[in-house]
């Protein structure tokens, strides 16, 4: 088959308008569950410091009648710290590009600033949850904060050869032999948190461990109603012997760790909160710098726990 002679076809026409949808589709995830969970506070120096304390172990406290008073041994507070980290993105858009009519956005500069802002939030979530140590930095080395993996020193479940971190000595955890995530491992960590005074309310896991977690039955029998024609194959709330916890998946944390977190014991301390600064104009373009300077504050790491070295 062929078109009749002298039929005007689209292939030769030059006046047809383009069909460009006025929408830009972007499915890159922007959820930042740990950053969103944390409280916020202010830092006043690049080295942010605070103190933790503990009570003496409970004992059978008995005294001889009429005995002379003796002072109990006093233990000093523990001084801990973290370094602030700068996260930034720079946008540069030519005057011409910002003036032309663009599909999906009114102004290119505003679109790029919005996009880079989302990227910085993702970068912050990544930095806050990683296995990193604090780096003070110098003129050639960027400062780095100690991430979540490096804070939880007390309440851990470790694979063979795994070693917990030591935030006081600024030592990162040593990864051990990986093993399957089980409910008994989680229960062990939750009990350790409780024994040390913690009250976790959030379980944070990567995608793989979230699917494994949804197979935990918690001693309950799952039931379905055939009338619903619906299968529920997830667990979003976990009721443990030591409290009720919300189960949150995190795309940016390491897949090999499951965290049990007491949310009110974690803060992001900002030396400079997120802002957009115009940069000096050096030609026919507009430049913007997006920046935040922040660190992770573990008010008391004994409040939370980690099941590490998961396969």
Mean pLDDT of the region 277-287? 94
Looking at the chain, list the stretches that DSSP marks H as alpha helix, in order from N- to C-terminal side: 33-37, 95-99, 108-129, 183-195, 207-213
Q: What is the pLDDT of residues 237-263, one digit of tens each?
A: 999 999 999 999 999 999 999 999 999
Q: Mean pLDDT across the stretch 14-35?
A: 82
How many of the other CB atoms lie within 10 Å of CB of 233?
A: 10
pLDDT of residue 4: 81
| Residue 205, domain member (yes or no) | yes
Residue 67 lies in a domain: no
Domain-located, residue 3: no
222, pLDDT greater than 70: no
Tokens of 258: 């499951």
- Position 121 confidence tier, pLDDT thresholds 50, 70, 90: very high
Residue 12 lies in a domain: no
Query: Could you tell me if residue 22 is inside a domain?
Result: no
Q: How many CB atoms lie within 10 A of CB 97?
A: 15
**Domain ranges, residue 187:** 33-51+78-221+230-307
Confidence tier at 14 by pLDDT (50, 70, 90): confident
Q: What is the mean pLDDT of residues 37-54?
A: 95
Which pLDDT score is estimated for 2? 82
Higher per-residue confidence, 251 vs 103 = 251
Two tokens at 25? 């589709």
pLDDT of residue 217: 78
Q: Kindly state whether residue 1 falls inside one of the protein's structural domains.
A: no
201 exposed, middle or buried (CB, 10 Å; 0-12, 13-18, 19+)? Answer: middle
Give the total number of structural domains in the chain. 1
For residue 125, tell me if it sits in a domain. yes
Q: Which of 271, 257, 277, 276 is nearest to 204 (CA)?
A: 257
Listed in order, strand segments (DSSP E) in 73-145 are: 78-83, 85-94
pLDDT attached to residue 56: 87
Do 54 and 280 touch, CB atoms closer than 8 A?
no
Distance of CA 232 to the CA centre of its chain: 27
What is the rounded average pLDDT for all residues in the chain? 91
The pLDDT value given to residue 13: 79
270 domain-assigned: yes
pLDDT of residue 227: 67
């Amino acid at each position: 088959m062929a078109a009749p002679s002298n039929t005007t076809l689209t292939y030769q026409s030059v006046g047809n308008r383009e069909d460009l949808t006025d929408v830009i589709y972007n499915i890159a995830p922007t959820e930042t569950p740990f950053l969103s969970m944390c409280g916020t506070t202010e830092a006043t120096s690049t080295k942010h410091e605070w103190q933790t304390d503990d009570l003496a172990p409970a004992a059978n406290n008995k005294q001889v009648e009429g005995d002379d008073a003796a002072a109990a041994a006093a233990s000093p507070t523990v001084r801990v710290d973290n370094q602030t980290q700068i996260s930034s993105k720079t946008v540069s858009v030519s005057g011409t590009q910002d003036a032309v009519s663009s599909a999906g956005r009114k102004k290119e500069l505003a679109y790029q600033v919005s996009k880079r802002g989302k990227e910085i939030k993702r970068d912050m979530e990544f930095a806050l949850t990683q296995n990193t140590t604090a780096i003070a930095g110098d003129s050639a080395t960027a400062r780095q904060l100690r991430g979540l993996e490096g804070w939880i020193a007390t309440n851990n479940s470790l694979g063979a050869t795994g070693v917990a971190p030591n935030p006081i000595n600024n030592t990162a955890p040593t990864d051990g032999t990986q093993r399957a995530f089980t409910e008994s491992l989680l229960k062990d960590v939750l009990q350790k948190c409780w024994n040390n005074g913690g009250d976790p309310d959030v379980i944070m896991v990567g995608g793989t461990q979230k699917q494994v977690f949804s197979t935990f039955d918690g001693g309950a029998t799952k039931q379905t109603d055939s009338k619903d024609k619906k299968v529920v194959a997830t667990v979003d709330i976990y009721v443990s012997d030591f409290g009720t916890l919300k189960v949150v998946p995190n795309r940016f944390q390491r897949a090999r760790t499951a965290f049990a977190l007491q949310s009110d014991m974690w803060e992001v301390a900002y030396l400079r909160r997120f802002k957009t600064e115009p940069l000096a104009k050096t030609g026919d373009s507009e430049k913007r710098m997006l920046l935040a300077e922040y660190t992770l504050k573990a008010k008391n790491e004994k409040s939370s726990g980690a099941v590490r070295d998961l396969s």
